[in-house]
Structure 1
Amino acid sequence: MPIPIALLIGIIIGMQIPTPAGSAEAPPAAIAQPGGSPDAAEAAPRKINVERREADDPTAVGDINAPVTIVTYSDFQCGYCAKWANDTLPTIVQQYVDAGKVRIEYRDIMFFGENSRQSAELAVAAGHQGKYQEFHDEIFADGGTAKNADFSEAGIKALAASLGVDHDQLVSDAGSKETSTLVQKNHDEAKELGVTGTPTFLVNGTPLVGAQPLEAFVKVIDDELAG
Structure 2
Amino acid sequence: MTPTKQSARSRRDLWLLGALGVVVAVLFAFLVVDRTGADETVKPASTPQIGPVGDMSRRIDGHPLAIGSVDAPVVMVAYSDYRCPFCAKFSRDTEPALIDKYVDEGILRIEWRDLPIFGEQSMAAARAGRAAAAQGRFWEYATALYAASPDRGHPDLTAEALRGFAATAGVPDLGRFDQQAAGPSVDQDIYADMLEANTIGVSSTPSFVINGTPVLGAQPIGVFEQVIEAAAGSEE
TM category, shorter? 0.7 to 0.9
Residues 141-165 of structure 1: CA deviation (Å, up to 9, x unaligned): 055386212313xx44433321111
Residues 36-61 of structure 1: CA deviation (Å, up to 9, x unaligned): xxxxxxxx961322211112433111
Q: Cα distance, 1:182 vs. partner?
A: 0.6
Contact 1:86 1:142 in 2 (8 A): no
Task: Give 1:151's aligned residue.
Answer: 159
Which of structures 1 and 2 has the bigger CA Rg?
2
- Which segments of 5 or more consecutive residues in structure 1 lack a partner in the other structure? 1-43
Matched, 1:220 2:227: yes
5 Å matches for 1:102-141?
A: 102-141=108-147
Contact 2:76 2:210 in 1 (8 A): yes
Name the CA shift for 1:86/1:116 in 2 (closer, same or farther; >3 Å).
same
Higher share in helix: 2
Matched, 1:197 2:190: no
Name the CA shift for 1:78/1:156 in 2 (closer, same or farther; >3 Å).
closer
Q: CA RMSD in A?
A: 2.1
Q: Distance in 1 between matches of 2:203 and 2:92?
A: 22
Larger relative contact order (C-alpha < 8 A, sep ≥ 6)? 1
Q: Cα distance, 1:178 vs. partner?
A: 4.1
Name the CA shift for 1:158/1:110 in 2 (closer, same or farther; >3 Å).
closer
DSSP-derived class of the 2:159 partner: coil
Q: Cα distance, 1:193 vs. partner?
A: 1.6
Contact 2:89 2:218 in 1 (8 A): yes
TM-score, with length taken from structure 1: 0.73
TM-score, with length taken from structure 2: 0.70
Question: Percent identity among equivalent residues?
Answer: 35
Residues 97-117 of structure 1: CA deviation (Å, up to 9, x unaligned): 122221111102111111110
Q: Distance in 2 between matches of 1:68 and 1:77?
A: 27
Task: Give 1:186's aligned residue.
Answer: 193
Matched, 1:174 2:181: yes
Matched, 1:90 2:96: yes
Q: Distance in 2 between matches of 1:139 and 1:90?
A: 15
DSSP-derived class of the 2:141 partner: helix
- Which segments of 5 or more consecutive residues in structure 2 lack a partner in the other structure? 1-49
Name the CA shift for 1:62/1:45 in 2 (closer, same or farther; >3 Å).
closer
Task: Give 1:73's aligned residue.
Answer: 79
Q: Give the one of 58, 63, 67 matched to 2:64.
A: 58
Task: Give 2:26's aligned residue.
Answer: none
DSSP-derived class of the 2:155 partner: helix
Contact 1:78 1:198 in 2 (8 A): yes
Contact 1:60 1:104 in 2 (8 A): yes
Name the CA shift for 1:88/1:156 in 2 (closer, same or farther; >3 Å).
closer
Q: Distance in 2 between matches of 1:82 and 1:161?
A: 19
